[in-house]
């Protein structure tokens, strides 16, 4: 968004920053960034200080590139089938809010504006441009909106991003009960609300609470220029609302301090940033039960490493706005394709170093052997011949694509591809009266 130089109002220069400073499609040649562990792992640390530290890392790396607004983090509550689960912190409103708000505090303390997303109920990717999340207002306030309320009150983010989906019949970015009623009135959010890319369908979204039409370069029309001006000239759009939009944007610019600097900042300490995210990864490892004192792995003569392309790298987010090109590059990046506008961005990505290589470094006295897992019988034989087996199981997730099925509690397959028009947000697998279809379950 263009600023007003004569008034000292800077341009708003935005960058994706869900799990690091994004570089969509590698458009900025040679521009790499620190890649965070998944939001799920960050949430599993239960350590807000790490989230605040990550916010500062984002700010320093954004400023080095001249960006003054980071689009993240994502804090929607997670559905088990959602293709963007790896970006989000948890299913708990309090934990998600604490981690997200600390990230905001860290970013904005370093002079860069932070934006939280996606308001609200962005829990599906397949058909997300059409889905209608039908939910009782009280249940909404006790779930996703509760998380946003806590995060807003604790950290005062400069901006929020509204979601693609509908909520009770109205698109999130043009949803008056949500944006004007819940966010601005009930929660008393003082910043501005921007749209996700291709999420605006009319100038009247401005009347319903949207303050900025973002990503207009990929929309059919720039709704907040020609159409909004025409509505203003015809008296359909009040001057008071226009002033409120401008006031909210200016307020956030000055509150975050992005008016006090311009141009790229100093080069960040990438080595220190790398060590910080490695420590986050360590703290996010959750061990449920160390049965038989399997860990730590010491004194083992033969160790089998099985599956997951562990001889190449560890899986990263599979595409979209959260895909980061790490400072050492990708160990493997393979296009997966798919239907829809995001199909071209979908990737199978592995980031180095390879777990197999690192295990051999850490355990020089052990014979560490690798099996691809391509043939289960062969993998089982390898495991039986070893003192311990480490199995890597990968599940690719990506913006734009949900998991088509999951096992039910009954052991049957749960068909979870949502209707192209409607979902019930409080449905759960195999419970009577829901939209769940468990093949062979009789419901």
pLDDT of residue 351 exceeding 70: yes
- 387 against 295, higher pLDDT: 387
- 114 against 403, higher pLDDT: 114
Catalogue all structural domains in the chain, each as residue range(s) with its CATH number.
Answer: 5-260 (3.20.20.300), 288-391 (no CATH)
pLDDT (0 to 100) of residue 156: 97
Query: What is the rounded CA–CA span in Å between residue 252 and residue 250?
Result: 5
- Kindly compute the dihedral angle of the four CA atoms of residues 227, 230, 232, 236, in this order, to the nearest 10 degrees: -80
Tokens of 109: 């303390």
pLDDT (0 to 100) of residue 152: 97
* 196 included as an active-site residue: yes
The SS3 call for residue 304 is strand
pLDDT (0 to 100) of residue 419: 44
Q: Which residues of 343-378 are buried (b: 16+ CB within 10 A; e: fewer)?
A: eebbbbbbbbebbbeebbeeeeebebebbebeeeee
pLDDT (0 to 100) of residue 318: 67
pLDDT class for 408, splitting at 50, 70, 90? low
- 170-184, 320-334, 402-416: which range is least confident on average? 402-416
pLDDT class for 415, splitting at 50, 70, 90? very low
pLDDT of residue 283 exceeding 50: yes
pLDDT of residue 423 exceeding 50: no
pLDDT (0 to 100) of residue 245: 97
pLDDT class for 220, splitting at 50, 70, 90? confident
Burial class (CB in 10 A: 0-12, 13-18, 19+), 203: buried
pLDDT (0 to 100) of residue 243: 97
pLDDT class for 429, splitting at 50, 70, 90? very low
- 2 against 425, higher pLDDT: 2
Closest alpha carbon to 191 in 209, 168, 216, 170: 209
pLDDT of residue 407 exceeding 70: no
Query: What is the rounded CA–CA span in Å between residue 323 and residue 74?
Result: 13
pLDDT (0 to 100) of residue 420: 40
- 336 against 257, higher pLDDT: 257
Average pLDDT on 215-226 reads 84
pLDDT of residue 361 exceeding 80: yes
Average pLDDT on 168-184 reads 97
The packing angle between helices 48-64 and 270-284, to 10°, is 150
Place of tokens 């983090």: 73
pLDDT (0 to 100) of residue 311: 96
pLDDT class for 309, splitting at 50, 70, 90? very high
- 171-185, 203-217, 339-353: which range is least confident on average? 339-353
For 31-56, the pLDDT digits (tens) are: 899 999 889 999 999 999 999 999 99
How high is the mean pLDDT of the chain? 87
| DSSP per residue, 186-201 | IS---SEEEEPTT---
- 218 against 5, higher pLDDT: 5
Catalytic residue among 79, 132, 144, 196: 196
Q: What share of the chain is helix, strand, coil (3-state, %, to 5)?
A: 35, 15, 50
**Gyration radius from the chain CA atoms:** 23
Average pLDDT on 312-333 reads 83
């Amino acid at each position: 968004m263009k600023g007003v130089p004569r008034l000292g109002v800077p341009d708003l220069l935005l960058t994706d920053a869900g799990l690091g400073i994004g570089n969509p499609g590698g458009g900025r040649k040679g521009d790499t960034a620190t890649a965070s562990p998944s939001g799920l792992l960050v949430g599993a640390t239960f350590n807000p200080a790490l989230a605040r530290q990550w916010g500062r890392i984002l700010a320093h790396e954004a400023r080095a590139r001249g960006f003054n607004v980071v689009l993240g983090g994502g804090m929607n509550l997670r559905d088990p089938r959602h293709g963007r689960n790896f970006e989000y912190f948890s299913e708990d409103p309090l934990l998600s809010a604490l981690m997200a708000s600390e990230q905001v505090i860290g970013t904005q303390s370093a002079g860069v504006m932070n934006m939280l997303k996606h308001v609200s109920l962005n829990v599906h990717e397949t058909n997300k441009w059409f889905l209608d999340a039908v939910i009782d207002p009280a249940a909404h306030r006790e779930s996703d909106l509760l998380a946003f309320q806590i995060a807003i009150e604790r950290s005062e983010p400069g901006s929020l991003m509204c979601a693609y989906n509908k909520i009770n019949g109205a698109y999130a970015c043009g949803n008056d009960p949500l944006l004007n009623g819940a966010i601005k009135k009930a929660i008393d959010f003082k910043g501005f609300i921007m749209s996700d890319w291709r999420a605006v369908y009319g100038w009247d979204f401005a009347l319903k609470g949207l303050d900025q039409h973002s990503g207009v370069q990929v929309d059919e029309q720039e709704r907040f220029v020609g159409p909004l001006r025409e509505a203003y000239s015809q008296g359909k759009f009040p001057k008071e609302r226009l002033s409120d939009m401008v006031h909210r944007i200016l307020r956030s610019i000055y509150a975050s301090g992005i008016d006090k600097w311009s141009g790229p900042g100093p080069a960040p300490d990438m080595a220190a940033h790398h060590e910080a995210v490695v420590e986050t990864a360590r703290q996010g490892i959750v061990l449920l039960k160390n049965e038989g004192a399997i860990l730590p792995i010491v004194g083992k003569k033969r160790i089998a490493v099985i599956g997951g392309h562990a001889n190449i790298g560890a899986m990263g987010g599979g595409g979209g706005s959260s895909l980061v090109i790490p400072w050492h590059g990708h160990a493997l990046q393979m296009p997966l394709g798919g239907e829809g506008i995001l199909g071209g961005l979908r990737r199978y990505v592995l980031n180095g170093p390879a777990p197999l290589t690192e295990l051999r470094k850490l355990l020089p006295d052990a014979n560490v052997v690798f099996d691809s897992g391509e043939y289960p019988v062969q993998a089982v034989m390898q495991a039986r011949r070893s003192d311990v087996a480490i199995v890597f199981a990968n599940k690719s997730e990506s913006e734009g694509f949900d998991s088509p099925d999951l096992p039910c509690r009954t052991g049957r397959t749960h068909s979870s591809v949502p209707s192209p028009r409607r979902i019930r947000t409080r449905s759960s697998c195999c419970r009577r009266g829901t939209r769940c279809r468990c093949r062979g379950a009789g419901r």
